Structure formats: structure tokens, C-alpha cells
Structure 1
Amino acid sequence: MSTPFGLDLGNHNSVLAVARNRGIDIVVNEVSNRSTPSMVGFGQKNRFLGEGAKNKQTSNIKNTVESLKRIVGLNYDDVDFETESKYFQSKLVKLDDGKIGAQVRLGGEQVVFSATQLVAMFINKVKSTVVEETKGKITDVAIAVPAWYSEEQRYAVADAARIAGLNPVRVVNDVTAAAVTYGVFKSEMPEGEQKPRIVAFVDIGHSTYTCSIGAFKRGELKILGTAYDKHFGGRDFDRAITEHFADEFKTKYKIDIRENAKAYNRVITGAERLKKVLSANSTAPFSVESVMNDVDVSSQMSREELESLVAPLLERVTDPVTRALAEANLKPEDVDFVEIIGGTTRIPCLKNAISEAFGKPLSTTLNQDEAIAKGAAFICAIHSPTMRVRPFKFEDVHQYSVSYSWDKQEEDEDHLEVFTAGSQFPSTKLITLHRTGDFSMEASYTNPEKLPAGIPTHIAKWNITGVKIPSGQSSVPVKLKLRCDPSGLHIIESAYSVEDIEVEEEVPRAADAPEDAEPEYKKVTKTVKKDDLTIVAHTFALPEETLNELIEKENDLFSQDKLVAETEDRKNALEEYIYTLRGKLDEEYSTFASDDEKTKLRDMLAKAEDWLYEDGFDSTKARYIAKYEELASLGNMIRGRYLAKEEEKKQALRSKQESERMAELAEKLAAQRKAEAEKQEETPKPDAEGDIDLD
């Protein structure tokens, strides 16, 4: 049975959760952190993923790619790319398909990976973390992504999950996932005809600000409105602080950190720490040792200075709130509670502005960092065929209207608005067209002028074949089931032709008709299903052949990473064995080896050490194992003698302790018998008549 897995794919850090033990658990990574850095690094032999990439980021800055979710599914020529590119130290390039890729060095060679591949590498890493932690099987995942993701970006994330060997059962809006957590684990929700509880969720993370309004009843959630500012987040505060200190250090220390990527990264890392300190304090010191050119820098900043630096950003704080309320047709006073999530909502000036916008205090009953991942894990559990979960129905909201169009035939219309902006999904619509043969359909946004810049107007195209025209007819009715699925993807679920046939149907008997009256029949026309049609979809999803190639490449890279890790483990084991055995040879093992054996073993250890730091510094796993076994052939024999003697001592000690316990027990029993005997002698005995003799 697969353990349901929820992934909050964050820009800076990602959080992993699983549904198990009748609850939702956060999965800690290999260093016991409850979140994992969302980055991928590349080295001479292998990749560094998550924590490994973060640890090597400063020394490997050009070969470390972060902010993965900002570039996946994005075109290189997109207007957003200019904004995003300033947050990258690695080289981003334009791929043949117009998408964004990263150019890095792996194994001494220059290689290019697409953004989808990079996300797949990270997902494969966190999948391994979950497998290691749960010791279970992981096949399904629900991935939480920003509400502003286009259909193309949602397909790209789903493809990345497939490359990583997972089945993406749902790609869900991140704030919706947090709202699910709220609805599932909150008690005392309205029921039946009671007024729903209206809750606003404000999520400000590392790069995005989203506000969603939800209406809750027991076991039910409807998202009424969602708005966002996708260029508003913690990284903007970090960058403002860094740019401020870059100017100060240029004057104060005569160094320009903008010219040195590693120095800039050190300062931006320090800026993130400073921002967190200023959330709880009015002023905070700032220092970085040897930032560049062996120069140590130091300064300080007050909360007022920070707010002044980000003043243009703070002017936009209430925009998403205002737009979300307008989309939901609500006023601030209609909102019952305001829940804040995301690390950046801890900044005091943001909290104050949000509170004033709603005119009420803020709630923090949800875990600000983990609510999204927990909701995603619950959603994945809903899709599990083997896991029983608390009944909970939820619907998200269409951001934009979507129309389906087809080639016009006769006097039919050639398009129809199927899903309107503000309506809920998942949803299904059934339409009927009269077709003269095979045909095609397309889905596109109804009002392109309302779309944010960069989102493609076209969504998908389908070729529908197998239409058979009966003799004597010019066309045939075709029914199509159009669906916006739970991931917000627009599909044609089924298509089939129908025909009208005449059947006889019994006429309902009149109330006053005699019981033995003959039944009456009438002819009626019924529409029945005739032929299933073949649907060939052309969506943003990767073609099957391309997907399989990328899966194979990821598997090769994963195997190489595993081999490098195992080789390093064997090398470390050999090094540890050399130093441990050498030390014990003069101590614990001294009396268990002859002088000849000691001389021989010391010589073997010296040669192995020389080899390890010279020719064997960069060897193979098999060579390290062979060297280890060569030393162990003699070392383990001596160790065996030592362990045998130690076991003999332990057995002797156990025997002695057992003998002492038995002797102590025997002594205790003898004392008890003696005490009982003495007690019996002291007790007076009755005479023959039963009286007690006192003389």
C-alpha cells in the first residue's frame, strides 16, 4: 500500500507530509529539519540536492540552481523572466522549445537541464527522504503550487513528478491546501442551513503573496475568491537589505559585493537572518566574516530602516486582499476569521497592514510553515483506494473563463463558453454537436485581455475520430463530456455518437382504470449511445517518448549519485578502520597479537594509508572494499581473539554473579526457615483438655 505523500513545493524551502497512523505527519529530512531547501547543485561527480546543495551553495554558487518553481513551465521570452533572472546566480539559457534551462558543469562537462528536469531532480530527492523516513512505498503525491500557475506550469510540475517516478494525483493551489487543513481539523463548523463560516487565508511566502476567501461547512469547503501578487515575498525584503549593505560596504570598506557572486550570496544569507531578528526586535546587528578579499564587514539596521527600504512594496500590501474580497462579492466585515500562513507574515508591518485591511485581529491557529503540506497529504489520502479518511468535499474557483471551439458546420455555433470565471471546479459539462465526420476541438481563455502577461491564450487541442455517418443522414449527434479536473486542467473526458430510436413505452394506467384493463403503449423517441469515439489530446504535457527519455536520464543520474555516495562511505570506512585498528593495536589488542603480526599489520596499515591519500584518493568503490578486506583479513583475526577473551570474561562474570545470587538466595531461605522454626518453639501448646497450661 502506498503512503499518501503531500509536497508543498516552496520557492526557498519545501515541506513534506504523509498521511499515516490516523493522522498527518511532517517528514524530517536527513539532518532532522522539518523543511528542505528547494535547490539543486552539481559537482565533479554527482549532484547535491536539498540540504547538500544548500551546504555547498556558497562554494558552488554558479552550479547551484534555486527558485525552481519560478521558472518551471516559463518561457524564456516571458515578461516575468526579466524579474526572475535577477534572483539567479547560475546561468539560465533558452532551450529549443523556448523554455528556460540552466547551464551547469557536471562531471567536468558543461550540460543544460530544463526547468522541468531540475524540479524532477528535487522531487526525486524528497521522495527518497519520505521513503527513508516512513520505510514505506511511495507512488502517489499531491503537489501544492501557487494559485497563479498557468495550465502549462501545472502540466510541467506533473511531468516533473512523473520523471521522479511518482503519480501526481492532484496539483492543488497551495492556499486551498491550507484551507483544507483548516476545514478538516477544525471542530464546530456550521451545518445544514446554518450560515457558512467565512475565512480569509493570507499566505506570504518567499516569493508570492496570495489571499483566498473560503466558505466552510462541516465536511465542505468552497473557495469564493483568490487574488495574488506573484512578485511580493520574503526574497524582496532580503534583496532590499542586501542592496542597502552593498552600497554601505562600497563606501565603508571599498568593496563591491555585486561584483562577486559568492560575496553577494553570503550577504543575502545574512540579510535573511537579519530580517527574522527584526521581526522580534527593533534593531539588530549585521556582520559577515571574510565576505570578500579577506574583509570582515559589520553594521546594524533598525526595523524602521527596513520598512523605509521596502516602502514601495508595502504600498501593495492590501491589493490582493481587496481583489479577493471583490471576487468573492464580500466586504471585510463579512469575514469571520483571518488566518495567516507563510514565513513572511511574521513581519510586524505586514501583519498590521493585513489586520487593518480586514478590520479585525489575525489568527494563527494553523502552523504557518506546515499547513499547506498537511493539506496536500490529506488530499492525496482522499485519492487513495485503500485509506479511509474523514469525508471532506472542497471546490476551488476558476480564475478565468474558458471556452471550447470547433470547426463550424452548417448553422451550428463554433464555440461555447463552458467554464465561467468565478465558478467552482472540479466540474463537468455535457454538450451535443452535430458532426459530419471526424473533427477537432480547442480550449482557450475567453477573454485574453484579462490574462496576466505571459500566460498562453491557447490551452489544449483534441482530435476526435471514429465518427460514422449512417446511410441517408448528413450528420450524427456527438456528445462530449468536457471537464475541468481537480488539478484545474481542462480536458475532454469522453466522446461518443448517439442516435434516436423509436421504442414502445407503456402508458401509465389511469387511477380509475379497471385492474384487468389491457396495458396501453405509445411510441417514443429515445437517444441512446452508439459508438465511442477516439480522443487524441494535444496538451502542454510532455510527449510519451520524451517523458520516457527524461525518466531514463533521471534514473541514470540517481544511480550515479547513489554510487558516489556509497563510494564515499566505503572510503570513509577504510580511513576509519586504519586509524581505529592502529590505535587499538597498541592498547586493547596488544596482548592478542604476536610481534610478527603487529609488525606485519603496522606495515599494511602504513601502506594502505599512503595509498588512500595518494593513488587511492579518488578511486572506486570496489578498490576501497578490496583494501578494507585486505586489512581485515589479519585485523579481524586479532580482533576475534580480543572479542573471544572479552566474551570469556563476560561469561565468567555472569557465572560469578549468578553464583552470588544463588548463594544470597540460599542464605535468605535458610534465614527464613530458621526464623519460622524459632517462632514455632516460642508458641505455647494446649493441654489434652484444650486449656492452656500457665504453670
Structure 2
Amino acid sequence: MSVVGIDLGAQSTKIGVARNKGIDITVGLIVSRSLVAFGPKSRHLGEGAKTQETSNLKNTVGNLKRLIGRSFNDPDVQVEQEFSAATLCDVDGLAGAEVTYMGKKEKFTATQLVAMYLGKIRDITSKELKLPVTDVTISIPAWFTDVQRRAMIDAGEIAGLNVLRLVNDTTATALGYGITKVDLPEPEEKPRRVMFVDIGHTEYTASIVEFRKGELNVKATAYDRHFGGRNFDLALTEHFANSFKEQFKIDVRTHPKAWSRTVAAAERMKKVLSANQVAPMSIESLMEDVDVRTVVKREELEVMIKPYLDRITVPLEQALAEAKLKPEDIDHIEMVGGTTRVPAIKEAVSKFFGKNLSFTLNQDEAVARGCAFSCAILSPVFRVRDFSVHDIVNYPIEFTWEQSPDIPDEDTSLTVFSRGNVMPSTKILTFYRKHPFDLEARYAKPDLLPGKINPWVGRFSVKGVKADDTGDFMVCKLKARLNLHGILNLESGYYVEDMEVEEPVPEEGEKKDPNAMETDAPNGEGEQPKKTRKVKKQVRKGDLPISTGKFTIDQATKEAWTERENAMYMEDKLVAETDEKKNELESSIYELRDKIDGVYAEFASEEEKEKLRAKLMETEDWLYEDGDDTTKSAYVAKMDEIRFIAGPIIQRYREKVEAERQAILKAQEEEAAKKRAELEAKRKEEEEAKKAEEEAKKAAGDEEMKDAPTNGEAQKDEGEQKQ
């Protein structure tokens, strides 16, 4: 079972994978362009879409997460049209794209487009891990609303993924930062406060997070949804467009491909200027066979992007104000996201806080790592250090209802989840009713929402409500929950009744030693009965059915989209397999043509050679004419025809190769046996020599003992010498 975290970026996607020794960001899989493209025979997803983008601009859709969960008339969607060559459109009230697919004009919602892309991420990750991929966590911007979060969950389901958690980008970064730290303060100590500044391709987020051992608490999050690397690219591109018009008399604004190539060159130049003071730019045959060249200094770029640099401190100030903190209260400022490499941005943030910035996290991979950690925490197959994540509510949610005719002074609205409340969170709402009733949930401050998203969240109808036997109110309890994803649900409803229950009365001064052993009462008497009292308590008596209406696709539509996605997936697979068979046939033609006069020459008669050459020529002619675009089975059939002729020749060659291999193996075995015999003989010879030497030494020792005098003889000789 895999544990995967997906950092779904507007420009590119990174994938974190939990393994036994930590989190891997596998580069080959794992940095994939967030693009979906449509062609005459199949779709192109991820890197495949990027390679054909310039030649297929109108049918290549990017910035997917900026479209999901939006209506087409949202001003933010119109902003996205400025950065997209594909035509954005309305699809049953949702933002989507109109493309030409398999020769027909088709419309797909953003949810479907994201599902297509997630399916590609699933496949390349599964191929890398050699395991099926199902459980994932996906990063989203903190400013996503309920409808956007639901749409992302739907996209995951259509792609066959079980989304364990949608995690806010900077919260994922904070988790990756905190879970690996061993020096965090103890729970009773002052927390470590870190400001995470994340500036990516399209947006800028600043979050203040407090860390203690084993937990993180998000205190405030602020953002600028239209501040990112693409805005700097656009400023450079506009500068080039004006310069080329004046210097080379060409207007790239009128030529989509020329404009796209200029944007790509501007992006490369921006990256070069992050490390160098000057950067050159050159594009061959940009438009009307005109080659363009220019040079830009870093100071010039900073002048172009000054309107954005003037906004750099706004999210920082907003986050501090919301957390009721000052710049000096922040212990560390962690910079993540590719755009934070721009020197002017680093300088502005450092100057605002009056301290050095931290770059301890990988700027490109921090979110993906945090997502993978989040997935590992939720997965039953991984053991991870206990670490609690407490995120916050970014938009206050209120419930409204019709006033009960029996309660004329009843309030009809209540803010249940306030901005800054901890998330996930559960609240119990109490109503006194005699009849079924309805509630509506909506965002209390629509002006905080991104674009023009409808503040309405959902409508809930509570059934089964009636007066009790005495004609009095039914006490209704409703459990409202903001779950791990930040999605609101009215999870359950039930009713309670006041009932008298008995509970023990603690005796005054009674203190029980928790370590004392319980014994029987003295003198064999039983334990004295405890005093009790009757109290009124609310007791749950039954459930109340709740029907829900929300901004989400219905089950039938989701099933239809899933079925369509599966059909397109199979079409893509068939096209890929067909191309593979075509390439196999083509390479076989060239390989056999070369080998029939080479390694296969001695294994074929002249008649067989001529027959094979004729078949190869015939097949090659067919391949580049009628067979240029045909079916997989046709290529397989042509390959079988060639194998029918070439097979006996190849078989003879392989038999000789195998015979030579066996001969070599036999010779090697004989040589090895000979060496073993020589070693064995040498060993025996050494053993016999050693044995003979030992026997000689023993014989010499016995001879010395034989010649030596006895003790008595030695004493006699000594006495004679003394006399």
C-alpha cells in the first residue's frame, strides 16, 4: 500500500512518497507539468502536454486548480483567460474549457480536467513505486472555499483516488518543518513562532505557525491570490513585446505562438536574473522569420515588477495583525516557493522583519514532503511520530433559519465557525421545534471570499420533528462539523428528553486513595450503600433524518464523468500501445535489414535472404503509406508476417549462439574442474609433506631420549668428577 502526497501546483506538480527511511521526492516522476492537452487521437497529460504545447496551444489547458469549483462568470476565471490560450467556457454553470478532441469540439469542466491530470499522476507514481496508488493527500490553497474543496475531492474520486486529506499549502510546509525537529519547546513552554512565506507561480501565502513538541497550531494565514512568478513573466513579456515592435517591427501580441515562446523566454530570463545581474535573451525565427536578441539587467526587471514589490508586505502585515503579533515576535521566517528566489523579494521580506531569512526547507519540495507526512500520519500502514496539526477556519460560517412561530423573540442566525477557529471542529446546535425545519449555511463575510464565489454553502432539512406527548417542544440537537478537508457537513441530528436519573452523591471530606486496596467491611458487614440523588439530564432518545443540498455534482453526474474518464483512459492506452507496435515494426525492419547481411548472413540461403528483403521493403512501403495511421492489430499482423520468414533464420542463429555459449560453459566447467583437481592434489601433497616432517621430528626426539644418561648415571659421573 502506497503513501503519497501530491503538491498540485498551478504550473507544476511534485509528488512526495513515504518510504521506510523518510520522504522521497522522486524527480523523474515527480516534477510534472500541470497541463492537460487534447489531440486528434488521444489526450496528452503532464509532460506529454508540455512537449506539444506550442504546436497545440488552443487545446492545451493549464492553471487547473485556479479553475476548479468556479463559475464561468467569476472575475477570477476571466483573469485566467489572460494566461490561457485555450478557450475557457461555461459548462452547466461551471468553469471549463472548450477544446477539439478526436476531431470534435468538446467541453470539459475544471473538475474533469483535474481528474484527468490526477489520473496521470496516479499512473506515473504507481509505475515508479511498482505498487497501486489509492490513498493520497492533496495540497490546496488556504483560500479555497467549501465548493472548491468538494470539487477537488470529486476530481480525486473520478481519478480512482481516496483523498485522505486536503491540506492547505503552508500547513503542509509547516508539518514537514515541525515533524522532523527534535528541539521544539515542551508543551508548557513558550512556543516557537515561524512565519512561512510561500510564493509560487500564481499566488502568495503567508502563515504564522506556533510549534511545540508534538504539535503545530496555525495562528493566522493571509494571501494575495494574484501575486506570483507568472505575473513577473508577464511584465517581462510585455516589455519584450513593446521592444520587438519598435526594434524589429513585429507584434507578438497578434501571434499566439510567438507570444507563447516569448513568455517561455521571459520565464527563463527571470530565473537567470535571480542569480545574475544581467541576462541575455535570444529567440530564432520568432515571427515572420525574424530572429530577436536582447539583454536585460536585474535593475530593469525590478522596475517592471515594482507594482508587485510594493505589495510584498501586505500579507505579512495582515497575518501579524490577525495573530495579534509584532514582527519581533516571529522567531524564524521560512521562505518556500520558486518565486522567493527573486532577490528583491528576499530583500523586502528581510527588511520588514529586520532579521535574516531561513532557507532550511527545499523551496520546491516542501509542500510535497508535508503532504506525504500527512498521508503517512493518516495511513494505517505507516508508523509516524505523533504530531497534531491544528489548522484554522479562514472564512466565518453562519447558519440561518426561519423563526419558529412559537418563539417570537428567537434569533434566526448564528456564526457557528468563526474566523480563526481550530479546524477540524465540531459544534452542537440546539433547536426547540414542534415541526420539521430548514437551515442554511453561508459564509458570514462574502467580501473575504475569492472572486465572486457564491457565499451560500448548503441547505439542510431536518425531518421527523414533532411535538411531544404533552404538546411541548422537541429538543433537537444537530452536529455541525468542519472536517479534515475544511468541508462543512451537518453530520447527524437527534432529539433528547429531560429525564430523572440517579447519580451518587459524594460524601463531604471523602477522599479515596487511588492506590488503596479494596477490602470487605469489618466484622463481616457489607459495604454501606452510597447516597444517591435524582437529577434531570438530557437523554438521547432517537435520530432525526437530515437531507442536504450543497454546491456539488450529483451522484449520477459523477458516475457519468467517471465512465467518460475511464473510456478516454482506455482510448489513450490503445493509442499508446498502437504507437508502440508501430515503432516496434519500424525498428524491426531496419534491424533485420542490417543483420541479414551481417550476423544472420551465414544462417540463411540466398533464396531466404531475397524473400526477407522483399518482405521488408514491401512492409516499409506500406508503413509509410497506408500503414502510417492504422490499427494496433494491423501492425501486429505485419510483424507476424515478417517473423514467419525471419523466424527460421533467427532460430538457427540463436541455436549456434546457444551452442557456442554451452561450449564456452563446458570449457569453463572443465577448466574449473581441472583447477579444483590441481588444488586438491597440491593440498594432499602439502598434507603428506607436513605429516612426513612431523614424523621425522618425532623420530629425532626419540633418538635424543635414547642417547641421554639416566639420573643415577649422571650423579655417578658427577661424583667421579669431584674425586
TM-score range, shorter chain: over 0.9
Q: CA 1:433 to 1:591, structure 2 compared with 1: closer, same or farther past 3 Å?
A: same
Q: Secondary structure of 1:110's match? A: strand
CA distance in 1, matches of 2:43, 2:261: 22
Cα deviation digits, residues 479-524 of structure 1 (max 9, x gap): 1111111211121121101112233445456679998766655433
| 2:39 aligned with 1:46 | no
1:149 alignment partner in structure 2? 144
Q: Secondary structure of 1:488's match? A: coil
Please say which of residues 564-573 and 511-520 is displaced more in the overlay.
511-520
1:65 alignment partner in structure 2? 61
Code of the aligned partner of 1:417: T
CA distance in 2, matches of 1:385, 1:669: 58
| 2:201 aligned with 1:216 | no
Q: CA deviation at 1:673?
A: 5.6
Q: CA deviation at 1:385?
A: 3.0
After superposition, where does 1:57-456 map in structure 2 within 5 Å? 57-97=53-93, 99-409=94-404, 410-411=406-407, 412-456=410-454
Contact 1:156–1:540, Cα closer than 8 Å, also in 2: no
Q: CA deviation at 1:129?
A: 1.1
CA distance in 2, matches of 1:237, 1:540: 35
Contact 2:461–2:548, Cα closer than 8 Å, also in 1: yes
Please say which of residues 462-471 and 389-398 is displaced more in the overlay.
462-471
1:620 alignment partner in structure 2? 631
Please say which of residues 573-582 and 408-417 is displaced more in the overlay.
408-417
Cα deviation digits, residues 116-138 of structure 1 (max 9, x gap): 11111111110111111112222
Q: CA 1:520 to 1:362, structure 2 compared with 1: closer, same or farther past 3 Å?
A: closer
Please say which of residues 526-535 and 49-58 is displaced more in the overlay.
526-535
Code of the aligned partner of 2:434: T
CA distance in 1, matches of 2:126, 2:18: 13
After superposition, where does 1:531-610 map in structure 2 within 5 Å? 531-610=542-621
| 2:647 aligned with 1:641 | no
Contact 1:42–1:63, Cα closer than 8 Å, also in 2: yes
CA distance in 2, matches of 1:49, 1:242: 26
Contact 1:189–1:197, Cα closer than 8 Å, also in 2: yes
CA RMSD of aligned residues (A): 2.2
1:655 alignment partner in structure 2? 666
CA distance in 2, matches of 1:517, 1:367: 68
Code of the aligned partner of 1:24: I
Contact 1:686–1:692, Cα closer than 8 Å, also in 2: no
Code of the aligned partner of 1:638: I
CA distance in 1, matches of 2:173, 2:412: 40
Q: CA 1:229 to 1:521, structure 2 compared with 1: closer, same or farther past 3 Å?
A: closer
1:7 alignment partner in structure 2? 6
Code of the aligned partner of 1:62: K
TM-score by length of 1: 0.95
Q: Secondary structure of 1:497's match? A: strand
Cα deviation digits, residues 342-396 of structure 1 (max 9, x gap): 0000010100101111111111111111110111122122222333221111111
| 2:475 aligned with 1:477 | yes
Contact 2:439–2:460, Cα closer than 8 Å, also in 1: yes
Contact 2:426–2:482, Cα closer than 8 Å, also in 1: yes
Q: CA deviation at 1:431?
A: 2.1
Q: Secondary structure of 1:385's match? A: coil
Contact 2:496–2:540, Cα closer than 8 Å, also in 1: yes
CA distance in 2, matches of 1:592, 1:449: 82
CA distance in 2, matches of 1:663, 1:250: 84
Q: Secondary structure of 1:467's match? A: coil
Among 682, 686, 689, the alignment partner of 2:700 is 686
Q: CA 1:191 to 1:677, structure 2 compared with 1: closer, same or farther past 3 Å?
A: closer
Code of the aligned partner of 1:481: K
| 2:539 aligned with 1:528 | yes
| 2:495 aligned with 1:497 | yes
Code of the aligned partner of 2:204: Y
Q: Secondary structure of 1:653's match? A: helix
Code of the aligned partner of 1:160: A
CA distance in 2, matches of 1:467, 1:387: 45
1:20 alignment partner in structure 2? 19
Q: CA deviation at 1:77?
A: 1.6
**Aligned-pair identity (%):** 47
Q: Secondary structure of 1:320's match? A: helix
Code of the aligned partner of 1:458: W
2:717 alignment partner in structure 1? none
CA distance in 2, matches of 1:385, 1:188: 27
Cα deviation digits, residues 214-239 of structure 1 (max 9, x gap): 00001100011111111100001111
Please say which of residues 496-505 and 590-599 is displaced more in the overlay.
496-505
Code of the aligned partner of 2:24: D
CA distance in 2, matches of 1:438, 1:378: 44
Code of the aligned partner of 2:486: G
CA distance in 1, matches of 2:299, 2:680: 82
Q: Secondary structure of 2:206's match? A: strand
From the CA coordinates, give the structure whose radius of gyration is larger. 2
Unaligned residue ranges in structure 1 (runs of 5+) = none
Code of the aligned partner of 2:91: L
CA distance in 2, matches of 1:43, 1:511: 83
Q: Secondary structure of 1:499's match? A: strand
Cα deviation digits, residues 554-584 of structure 1 (max 9, x gap): 1111111011001100111111111111111
Q: Secondary structure of 2:373's match? A: helix
Q: CA deviation at 1:662?
A: 3.2
Q: How many residue pairs end up in the alignment?
A: 688
1:467 alignment partner in structure 2? 465
Q: CA 1:597 to 1:474, structure 2 compared with 1: closer, same or farther past 3 Å?
A: same
Contact 1:439–1:463, Cα closer than 8 Å, also in 2: yes
CA distance in 2, matches of 1:213, 1:636: 70
Please say which of residues 243-252 and 651-660 is displaced more in the overlay.
651-660
Contact 2:184–2:211, Cα closer than 8 Å, also in 1: yes
Q: CA 1:516 to 1:648, structure 2 compared with 1: closer, same or farther past 3 Å?
A: closer
Q: CA 1:506 to 1:166, structure 2 compared with 1: closer, same or farther past 3 Å?
A: same
Please say which of residues 530-539 and 664-673 is displaced more in the overlay.
664-673
Contact 1:202–1:210, Cα closer than 8 Å, also in 2: yes
CA distance in 1, matches of 2:548, 2:21: 39
Please say which of residues 253-262 and 661-670 is displaced more in the overlay.
661-670
Contact 1:209–1:231, Cα closer than 8 Å, also in 2: yes
CA distance in 2, matches of 1:516, 1:379: 53
Q: CA deviation at 1:469?
A: 3.1
Q: Secondary structure of 1:690's match? A: helix
Q: CA deviation at 1:400?
A: 2.6
Unaligned residue ranges in structure 2 (runs of 5+) = 511-520, 708-723
Cα deviation digits, residues 181-221 of structure 1 (max 9, x gap): 01111221001211000000000000101100000001100
Q: Secondary structure of 2:626's match? A: coil
Q: CA 1:511 to 1:278, structure 2 compared with 1: closer, same or farther past 3 Å?
A: closer
